Chains A and B, each alone.
Chain A
Amino acid sequence: MSRLNDANLAVAKETIARYPRVKSALIPVLHLAQEQDGYVSTEAMAHIAELMGLTPAEVYGTASFYEMFKFEPVGRYCINVCTNISCQLVGGWELLEHAEEALGIKAGSTTPDQMFTLEDVECIAACTEAPALQVNYRYRNKVTPAQFDAMITALRAGELVDEFPPHGTLSRIRQGLPENWADTGRTAQAEVDAR
């Protein structure tokens, strides 16, 4: 939707400065863009290219390698249901089908109210907790259809906000940074060190 805003621009510049090779900052800065808009917009990629002295095609090429960067708006909650072997054996497929019915959308799409995006994923390394799913990449284990419904109801009611921050909120550095971080004059690293 947009280029990086001023606060994020400051973080981006600071992040870029921290790497001996500018290119190395690409992934963290892309996360920043995704955090800002909930997805990585074309304008943000062009802006990042400008900041890092890359071509937009290079930025897009790198970003699109990663499943977790989205290039179209996604729901506030991106739900990934694992259908790989361990989960499949104990009801992963059924859980996904249930989810499709419950949300009224096919895997790979977003509810019209922009609340949920449903995806099927390969193994998310929670095989011992099968069937597993993620909401904005935060785990829910041994999920039954009833638990799924309860979770959806809660999310629709605006609950569970602490457990599941909006899609795009990923960067560990950004989490817990004071709102007025850009004005504090502290570097992001100092912020992390202080914690």
Chain B
Amino acid sequence: MSEETSTDLGDLIEDSEPEAETSDVAPEPEPDPGVAVTINGRVHSARPGQLVIDACADAGAFVPHFCYHPRMSPVGMCRQCLVEVDGPRGPMMVVSCMTPVAEGQVVNTATPSVKRAQEGVLELLLANHPLDCPVCDKGGECPLQDQAFSHGPGESRYLEEKRHYEKPIPISDLVYLDRERCILCDRCTRFADEVAGDKLIHFISRGNDTQVMTFPDEPFASYFSGNTVQICPVGALTAKPYRFKARPWDLEQVESTCTTCSVGCRTVIQSSRDELLRYQGVDSEPVNWGWLCDRGRFGFESANSDQRLAVPLIQTDAGLEATSWSAAMSTATELFTEALNRSGPSGIAILGGARGTNEDAFAWARLADRLGVTRRDPQLADGLAAQILNRPRATIAEAAHAKTVILLGPDLKEELPVLFLRIRDAAEKRRSRILEFSPMETGMTRYAWRSERYEPGFAATAVRSSLADPEIASQIAAGDVVVVVGRQNLAESDAVTLAALDAIIAAAPAAKVLPVLRRGNVMGALQMGLAPRSAESEASQILHAAADGHIDLLVLLGADPLADCPDAELARRALAGARRVISVDTFLTSSTAHADLVLPAAAYGEKAGTTTNLEGRITPVTAKVTVHGTARPDWMVAVDLAARLDQDLGFNDLAGITAEIAATVEGCEELEALSAGRATGTGRDGILVSVVVPEISRASTEVTERISYDYRLVVSRKLYDNATNTQMAPSLAPLAPGPCITVNPMDLTRIGAEEGTQVKVIGARSATVLTLAASTAVPRGLAWVPFNQPGGAISEVIDLDTTVTDVRIERL
């Protein structure tokens, strides 16, 4: 499939050299005097404070190592990195991962005594290692195997029986542990502690009995567990979705970007026999630092699903039936022509576009422009008004280095996991203070400097009173503030959040904003021209118009309003009210089932192009495998349709679209170079683009006080939910926690029901039945329900036209 597989795996994903901690924001690079060290006889200028092991790597002298990882603090566990440093009493052996460089230091990495020392350590590491490389997933890409060859004694002197443990035991739903192979490097446990903050695995016991283990019956259920598999320097940790699927030498790989959410983590996509088999994180300094979340890492399984749409489907009296592309495209053309003839472009609406690439979005936006269609929105009333893009924008790195990070958004751990890691790191390393505004506790609360609660509807009031607090006021007054803003609560109008944002900006006019709209390429879709043009162009108004029979043709570009619009009733009426519906999607969803025409779309890993992350950073995505069935990328559908409708889009192929974006979208001049030079150098960091979108004024909202026996709803997403790409990934689908309604334990008596019982949740419009749970994370008077869980329908009680949603909870 691909010639671009030459990028070396080791280069990409392991230990790529990070820049100095603050380099990505350093306002002015300080004149760096450099520390002169002599490495293997040659003088080298090292960074002050740099570790000898890194300085050696920079100087081209590889030092074998296992426990050291450039993104985690050094611990000196494995002793493999011994080198010789000249000291006052002659050369001495030091652990290079724990020794900082010093002026005039003389380092030798390959003297006979270094070699002897390294061989000795390796022999000890191998003493209890089973050497079952032929049946080990890591074999072929294993640092232990490689370094045993390059730096080991070659022959084993051990005749004794090795230590035995039960062969791999699951430590979570996704990760298996083989304790015999573990060399106790502390990478996985350090990751869980330092990086993820999920200290669910730990060294247990002591000495010869030491092993990595979870607490009994408390699995390593971290959203980031896959990273431990990637960084384990041996085959002790393996991931269920990949176990025994391929050998490393069978894998082909290309560098790409994860588009599962809008963080845009850099990845390599690996495949064998034209099947996607594994994603690994790539260290991108401004974005993901090498980490991925498990949803992004394992979500590729959905692309391999046999439930993918393979051929176009057309609605008949007998339901949806397979048809050919040419028939499907003629039908599509007819539907467009018919709609245009009936009521002109205002009768056509395009929802979605965040699933695809920038090129997909651009092609559809251009088609919409040519046809005069203004009703378009890549969000489904589940995000924020697009104009937050017009605020001075912050990058992830700016947020992770700001004095103050104000969180006015969703639970980052659940929605934008790797952004959570970056902000958590900022708090843990004391670079930033986190000021969180949230109706309830989030995954970030324990790292926050201050976490302020508010009742849904009253965010702005809470912000104003908090900012009046002298301590907070002086923190903000110190400047360097980044506001991370996104949709906090799907049962609350986004206008509430926008008003709160205004209140923050009023107090901190110089604050920058990091918009955290979560869906894959929503930023790309907005920036490439699919942003709503006016109030009636926004999703909620499109749905209302459809429900009222004003939409002749509704185009769903990977959009599933029935699942994703917070207001299920409105979505249902809209789909029923739209005269015709065309859906371009990878799967048959609840919404596509209503379509008159369904066109199968190419999925991630099957198409090339670029994507834009929440910062506005454009990076390439790469095709690695052949598209499923006859699926096509969305842009191709737009181009074909345009030709049939006699519209000249100005391009006919992907290269043409890229060129047109580069020529017409501000800041995209480098796009062609970026697409062409994928997987190298600056391509990994991408280009930052900040496109202005139309401002749409928001009517101010009215919020009523909650009646005391009601509960005010907080509805937010969990990482694993009923999203198609989660449910179609067999490893991830079971991880969705399922629907429930959580209240404060003190409210249980008021409800008169126990935890675990079924209760009726009654909204103004309809009611639903959910399991009752209790947690102190939810303040009294509020009730939290995870959105879009399999088997749950909280969207039935949410009304998009009300500012907040109050419900009664009754025993069944």
Contacts and interface: CB of A to CB of B under 8 A. Distances in A.
A57 B206 contact: no
B203 interface: yes
A178 interface: no
B200 A61 contact: no
A65 interface: yes
Interface string A49-86: 00000111111110011110000000000000000000
Nearest to A55: B199
A57 B202 contact: yes
Contacts of B707: none
B666 interface: no
A12 B738 CA distance: 37
A45 interface: yes
A107 B531 CA distance: 74
Interface stretch (B91-99, B212-220, B536-544, B751-759): B212-220
Interface residues of A, number: 15
B571 interface: no
B216 A42 contact: yes
Contact of B204 (A55, A64, A67): A64
A87 interface: no
B202 A60 contact: yes
Contacts of B198: 55
A177 B651 CA distance: 87
B201 interface: yes
B704 interface: no
Contacts of A67: 206
Q: Which one of B198, B206, B215, B216 has the greatest number of beta carbons of chain A within 10 Å?
A: B215
Contacts of B200: 55, 57
A60 B217 CA distance: 12
A46 interface: yes
Contact of A58 (B202, B206, B216, B217): B202
The interface size bin for chain B is 10 to 19
A65 B205 contact: yes
B215 A64 contact: no
Contacts of B202: 55, 57-58, 60-61
A65 B206 contact: yes
Nearest to B211: A64
A45 B214 CA distance: 13
Q: Which one of A54, A58, A60, A67 has the greatest number of beta carbons of chain B within 10 Å?
A: A60
B187 to A, nearest CB: 16
Contacts of A57: 199-202, 213-215, 218
Contacts, number: 41
A18 B198 CA distance: 27
Contacts of B216: 42, 60
B204 A60 contact: yes
B216 to A, nearest CB: 5
A64 B206 contact: yes
Interface string B561-593: 000000000000000000000000000000000
Q: Which one of B201, B202, B217 has the greatest number of beta carbons of chain A within 10 Å?
A: B202
A60 B215 contact: yes
A61 B200 CA distance: 10
Contacts of A65: 205-206
B632 to A, nearest CB: 48
A132 to B, nearest CB: 22
B29 to A, nearest CB: 38
Nearest to B203: A61
A45 B217 CA distance: 12
Interface in A144-167: none
A54 B215 CA distance: 12
Contacts of B213: 57, 60-61
A61 to B, nearest CB: 3
A58 B204 contact: no
A122 to B, nearest CB: 11
A139 to B, nearest CB: 23
Contact of A46 (B199, B203, B206, B215): B215
Contacts of B218: 55-57
Contacts of A66: 206
Contacts of A55: 198-200, 202, 215, 218
A30 to B, nearest CB: 14
B625 to A, nearest CB: 38
Contacts of A54: 199
Interface in B192-250: 198-206, 213-218
A59 B203 CA distance: 11
A54 B204 CA distance: 15
Nearest to A53: B446
A71 to B, nearest CB: 9
A65 B213 CA distance: 13
B380 to A, nearest CB: 37
A42 B218 CA distance: 11
B189 to A, nearest CB: 8
Contact of A56 (B203, B205, B215): B215
Interface in A98-145: none
A58 B217 CA distance: 14
Contacts of B205: 64-65
A45 B206 contact: no
B36 to A, nearest CB: 40
Nearest to B216: A42
Nearest to A63: B204
Nearest to B199: A55
A60 B199 CA distance: 11
Q: Which one of A55, A57, A64 has the greatest number of beta carbons of chain B within 10 Å?
A: A57
B496 to A, nearest CB: 32
Nearest to B206: A65
A47 to B, nearest CB: 12
B215 A45 contact: yes
Contacts of A64: 204-206
B192 to A, nearest CB: 9
Interface string B784-806: 00000000000000000000000
Interface string B494-534: 00000000000000000000000000000000000000000
B225 to A, nearest CB: 13
Interface string B382-424: 0000000000000000000000000000000000000000000
Nearest to B198: A55
Nearest to A49: B215
Contacts of B214: 57
A55 B200 CA distance: 7
A67 B205 CA distance: 8
Q: Which one of A42, A54, A61 has the greatest number of beta carbons of chain B within 10 Å?
A: A61
A36 B190 CA distance: 33
A2 to B, nearest CB: 15
Interface string A7-50: 00000000000000000000000000000000000100110000
Given A42-B217, A60-B215, A61-B213, 4 more contacts: A57-B200, A60-B204, A61-B204, A64-B205
13 contacts: A42-B216, A42-B217, A46-B215, A54-B199, A55-B199, A55-B200, A56-B215, A57-B202, A58-B202, A60-B204, A61-B202, A61-B204, A67-B206
Q: Across chains A and B, which 9 residue pairs bring their CB atoms closest together, nearest first?
A: A61-B202, A56-B215, A57-B202, A55-B199, A57-B215, A64-B204, A64-B205, A65-B206, A60-B215
